[in-house]
Structures are given as C-alpha cells and as structure tokens.
C-alpha cells in the first residue's frame, strides 16, 4: 500500500486522471435507479485525497476542475432549476428559505443589531 501511496503522491497528473477515470466508472454504476453521475468524481477525489494526502494537483487544476463540474451540473439541471423557481411550489420554498434566513439573523444578533443600534 505504501508503494501505491508513493506513486500517487509523486505522479500528480497520473493521480488526477486516474481519479477522473475511476470517478467516471463509479458514476456509471446504477443501483435501483440511483447513480452518482458526475458527482462520483468528487467522491473518488475525496477518497484518493484521504489515501494519499500529499497528492494535490496545482491549485489552478483544482479550481478549473471545480468550475467544469459546476458548469456540467448547471447545463444538466439549469432549466429545471429556473422552472422550479417560478412554480407555485418553488415560490413557497423560496419564501420559506428567505424567512428562515431572516429568522436566523434575528435570533443570532437580536433585534437591536439592526440599523443604528448595531454594535
């Protein structure tokens, strides 16, 4: 196991592409209609990072990978997200979320922290 860890920690591009490939394969596994899809790459990345913590790619590659993941999720689910915002259930959910945020603000800071009374 130490040899594998050493390989992963010294060959950063190999580790990166191995993680992507394994994540893609795990994402294709379908159990009772459920699969992780592209999110599996992130979970495999977490597992590889836990196994070989020194195997970190340059920060630019990590940021680029996250941006590409978010872009892919946005392309896949963007239309459903915006349709959900304007539906009756979506408006109720957004109102509940807004009220929850406001309530947390009031509870954590108290009503005296608004406006000129803030400390």
Name the residue ranges covered by the structural domains of the chain. 1-57
Give CA separation, 87 vs 2, 11, 80, 96, in Å: 54, 49, 11, 14
Is pTM beyond 0.85? Reply is: no
Q: Give dist(CA 84, CA 97) in Å, integer.
A: 14
Residue 111 has pLDDT above 90, yes or no: no
For residue 38, what is the DSSP state? T
Q: Would you place residue 85 in the very low, low, confident or very high pLDDT band (cuts 50, 70, 90)? A: confident
Tell me the CA end-to-end span of the chain in Å, nearest whole number.
55
């Amino acid at each position: 196991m130490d040899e594998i860890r050493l390989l992963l920690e010294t060959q950063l591009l190999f580790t990166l592409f191995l993680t992507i490939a394994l994540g893609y394969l795990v994402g294709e596994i379908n159990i009772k209609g459920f699969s992780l899809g592209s999110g599996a790459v992130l979970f495999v990345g977490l597992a590889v990072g836990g196994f070989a913590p020194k195997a970190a790619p340059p920060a630019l590659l990590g940021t680029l990978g996250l941006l590409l993941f978010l872009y892919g999720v946005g392309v896949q689910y963007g239309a459903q997200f915006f349709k959900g915002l304007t539906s009756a259930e979506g408006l109720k959910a957004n109102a509940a979320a807004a009220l929850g945020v406001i309530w947390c603000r009031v509870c954590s800071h108290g009503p005296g922290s608004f406006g000129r009374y803030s400390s």
